[in-house]
């Protein structure tokens, strides 16, 4: 649900969305939900400022295209956002099953 929300919420009326890092446009269904800080870190896994639509080339072939991602984060959210996400990711966070279920409900409702 979260991945679909990230990709679909930025799409235009025809379903096309621009890659956050390179700007190429594809239909939201073929785009990825690319994380700046890897999903490994629970504290930022579902952070909407950490996850944006990305084309498969940037997300897979370029390993997230992290330098372009960092620049774009600072442009969109203000200088220092990338560093803030890195700091946040280092916090120990463990979600319980009911919290994950709540997140699924939230993003289902947002769709």
Place 17 in a pLDDT band, splitting at 50, 70 and 90: very high
- pLDDT tens per residue, range 27-47: 999 999 999 999 999 899 989
Give the residue extent of every domain in the chain: 2-110
Model confidence pLDDT, tens digit, residues 60-72: 999 999 999 999 9
Paired tokens of 49: 């400022």
**∠ Cα 71 64 34 (to 5°):** 95
Contact 81, 74 (CB under 8 A): yes
Share of the chain above pLDDT 70, in %: 100
């Amino acid at each position: 649900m979260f991945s679909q929300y990230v990709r679909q919420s930025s799409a235009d009326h025809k379903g096309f969305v621009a890659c956050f890092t390179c700007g190429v446009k594809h239909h939201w269904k073929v785009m990825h939900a690319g994380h700046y800080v890897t999903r490994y870190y629970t504290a930022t896994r579902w952070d909407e400022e950490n996850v944006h639509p990305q084309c498969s080339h940037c997300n897979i072939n370029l390993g997230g295209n992290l330098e372009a991602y960092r620049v774009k984060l600072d442009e969109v959210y203000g200088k220092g956002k990338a560093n803030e996400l890195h700091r946040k990711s280092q916090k120990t966070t463990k979600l319980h099953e009911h919290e994950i279920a709540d997140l699924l409900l939230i993003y289902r409702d947002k769709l």
